[in-house]
Chain A
Amino acid sequence: MRHLLSTADLSHSDALSILDTAEEMSAVATREVKKLPTLRGRTVVNLFFEDSTRTRISFEAAAKRLSADVMNFSAKGSSVSKGESLKDTVQTLEAIGADAIVMRHWASGAAAQLAASGWTDCAVVNAGDGTHEHPTQALLDALTLRRGWAAGRGHGPRGTDLTGMRVLIVGDILHSRVARSGVWLLNTLGAEVGLVAPPTLLPVGVEQWPVSVHYSFDEALASGPHAVMMLRVQAERMGGAFFPTPAEYTRRWGLTDERLARVERLNGPGGDGAMILHPGPMNRGVEISAAAADSPLNRVLDQVSHGVSVRMAVLHLLLSQSHDDGSSA
């Protein structure tokens, strides 16, 4: 692996290797000294063209726990928005001595373009590009799901995948990079993925995806999912163009108290209710009720800590390998 751009081009063994490495990294987090020396002397730049404090802090924590030097470059409101090109910005960062660029960008494909451009030799980690992909989010979701799934089968998570697990992804699929990365990765790991959304928030072409599609959340719950992943509804979609009102959205596609009661009765991985995931931040009262947000079934805080482990694993795999032999796979 030379870059992490998309989960669509992650093989089963690549994915397992990242998840297994992330399990090692999680163990580090429980030690008194939460630091490994692996990336000492290496520099990781967080290049953010779009605000996301959560993702940036998670990558920053990951790099620092591996002893890397971290630089944060917020390109929003800087010279970049005034016409400085991505090319010039990136070449500047490389001249400063970056080894990896973690990039969040509002434009779909920006990370792939950067990796293919020849403007830099840095490893590129896609920290979310437009409505395209957000691979580390999908990996941390998979780590969370695998923990639950493996525990329910009475064994450790390492080396296992999600074969047999049924996962619903609910909400704005059309504009969601989390959904896209999630679908490809969960499918690679053997899970059965169902999408639940109003037809206006499903992309034309979704019929070609390796998923089942439901317009009705209630019918989808009847299919017995082991986990339900709720997506955030962006405020700008609520203007009436995609669904009539937020209240109607909540009634039809929200994880309401009534639906939470059904989720609690589902046969989850351990037989005691399905897992609830959310990439955060949650819109309480919109896509998820307060009770569902605070339910013991909700893994949102696990997801946050798994995010650091997964990002440590990714940086470790990208930088320590390229450091050793310079070859790319």
Chain B
Amino acid sequence: MTDHLILGAKILGETTADLVLRDGKIATLGADTAAPREGVPLETIDATGLIALPGMVDLHTHLREPGREDAETVETGSRAAALGGFTAVHAMANSSPVADTAGVVEQVHRLGLESGWTEVHPVGAVTVGLAGENLAELGAMAESSAQVRMFSDDGICVHNPVLMRRALEYVKSFDGFVAQHAQEPLLTEGAQMNEGCVSSVLGLPGWPAVAEEAIISRDVLLAQHVESRLHVCHVSTKGSVEIIRWAKERGIDVTAEVTPHHLILTEEMVRSFNPVYKVNPPLRTAEDVQALREALADGTIDVVGTDHAPHPTQLKECEWHQAAMGMTGLETALSVVQHTMVETGMMDWRRFAEVTSVRPAEIARHGHQGRPLAVGEPANLILVDPQARRTVRPEEHATKGRNSPFSGMELPGRVHSTFLAGHRVVADGALQTSLTGREAD
């Protein structure tokens, strides 16, 4: 294994230091760089102008395998993750078959290990087949080699209140948590976009904010009642933010996530009827976007989760009604958060590291991710060039999905290098070799 000497990186965008990465850990940090070791190659990286951050951790990724390998595979999604600066991703359970048994989560976990571009942590389904009727074998998934702690029926809301209560209770036995996709199903039957001024003009069935807020209200009270951990996926409305803020003030153990696209895009995009903007939850209003940014800055929202949702072209090249919901996001997340949060002065890079790495790793209980950049810590880290500017070109992305809503936009920032357990999987913005020796083709 190669040692790495990183020269002149700004740690969390603050002080400049040199780092040596050795045996998967940060061996030295500061001026006193260690001498090269006999027989071990040393790669020196000039990191002038680059910021060193802990590797990003995504709590919300759709890798599509098993079942929809035409949309994405663990391999292609892992590559996209590494390029996007993620050293860990959480693969949502809505594959086919659904990840509702130890067998499926172990399969996904093993595929991730074999790829070796990023850590792949499967999310277990809350209910069998995401059907919302019976609890899946949560304990078996927790005890499997995948060590699942995060459970979600994402894409579908666990709307039965009794079942949600039981799930919240049950996961306490192994310090797990339930990540809820908050969407009241009857209020959103056939819904196509945010309900409001724009939907009234476009004649698309509306998706009211209250359908999200009603479930979040109920769930924070359930979490309080049974004293369990609730995570709210992709918060998209100002009202949801207010409910979560209220719950946190009361000491309820709730964490919340926002996607990059909800930090930047609004329902106005839907006027084009271009299905690339069709997503669940839908793009909301400018007022919602502003509330989400403030909530992410002040800690009401804990993390950024991409909700990376690749789809084959034909599922987006069709009528809006028939198009699939979802957008890719792994390879643009850093840029969008830099653009919306850092360059607006709403957060610094230290807070960026908290919302993209430290907090998600804490929530998922990964002790080796989201760690401080300090001697002895695991070398899961990235180097970012904040000065870079690039135009998003989905056809150049490593994900199979071409459904990026940022296509053609110029965004700041670029992931220069990604180190996974001290191994440089991305160098100068390009894939190198994976931990398992795979090469980009």
* Chain A contacts to B: CB under 8 angstroms: 8, 85-87, 105-110, 112-113, 116, 129-133, 177, 180, 203-206, 208-209
Contacts and interface: CB of A to CB of B under 8 A. Distances in A.
B195 interface: yes
A231 B162 CA distance: 44
Interface string B280-293: 00000000000000
Interface stretch (B86-94, B139-147, B199-207, B348-356): B199-207
Given A85-B314, A205-B201, A107 B196 contact: no
B199 A203 contact: yes
Contacts of A106: 321
Given A204-B200, A205-B200, A208-B197, A108 B321 contact: yes
Contact of A204 (B199, B202, B320): B199
Contacts of B274: 113, 116
10 contacts: A86-B318, A87-B318, A108-B321, A109-B202, A113-B274, A116-B272, A132-B203, A203-B199, A205-B200, A209-B201
B208 A130 contact: no
Chain B interface extent, by class: 20 to 34
Contacts of A131: 203-205
Nearest to B273: A109
B208 A204 contact: yes
Interface in B185-220: 192, 195-206, 208
Contacts of A108: 192, 202-204, 273, 320-321
Which one of B192, B196, B320 has the greatest number of beta carbons of chain A within 10 Å? B320
B242 interface: no
Given A116-B274, A204-B196, A205-B195, A132 B319 contact: no
A206 B320 CA distance: 22
Interface string B245-286: 000000000000000000000000000111000000000000
B189 to A, nearest CB: 10
B320 A209 contact: no
A107 B322 contact: yes
B343 interface: no
Contact of A87 (B197, B202, B206, B317): B317
A105 B203 CA distance: 13
A130 B318 contact: no
Contacts of A87: 317-318
Interface in B124-158: none
Contacts of B314: 85
Nearest to A8: B201
Which one of A8, A109, A131 has the greatest number of beta carbons of chain B within 10 Å? A109
A110 B320 CA distance: 7
Contacts of B320: 107-110, 113
A256 B433 CA distance: 77
A57 B208 CA distance: 39
Those 3 A-B pairs whose CB atoms lie nearest each other, nearest first: A205-B200, A109-B273, A132-B203
Interface string B319-362: 11110000000000000000000000000000000000000000
Interface of B: 192, 195-206, 208, 272-274, 314, 317-322
A203 B200 contact: yes
B206 A109 contact: no
Given A113-B274, A203-B200, 4 more contacts: A86-B318, A109-B202, A203-B206, A205-B195
Which one of B197, B203, B204, B208 has the greatest number of beta carbons of chain A within 10 Å? B203
B273 A130 contact: no
Contacts of A113: 273-274, 319-320
B208 to A, nearest CB: 7
A286 B421 CA distance: 72
A179 to B, nearest CB: 10
B242 to A, nearest CB: 20
B405 to A, nearest CB: 16
A72 B205 CA distance: 30
A86 B208 contact: no
A105 B197 CA distance: 23
A116 B273 CA distance: 9
Which one of B197, B202, B317 has the greatest number of beta carbons of chain A within 10 Å? B202
Contacts of B202: 108-109, 132
Given A85-B314, A116-B274, A203-B206, A109 B199 contact: no
Contact of A205 (B199, B318, B321, B322): B199
A8 B208 CA distance: 24
A105 B196 contact: no
A205 B201 CA distance: 8
A105 B319 contact: yes
B319 A204 contact: no
Contact of B317 (A85, A180, A204, A205): A85
Contact of A206 (B200, B208, B273): B200
A149 B176 CA distance: 71
Given A86-B318, A109-B320, A113-B320, A205 B204 contact: no
B335 to A, nearest CB: 26
Which one of B201, B274, B314 has the greatest number of beta carbons of chain A within 10 Å? B201
A112 B201 contact: no
A209 B200 contact: yes
Contacts of A206: 200
B316 to A, nearest CB: 11
Contacts of B201: 8, 180, 205, 209
Given A116-B272, A132-B203, A133-B203, A110 B319 contact: yes
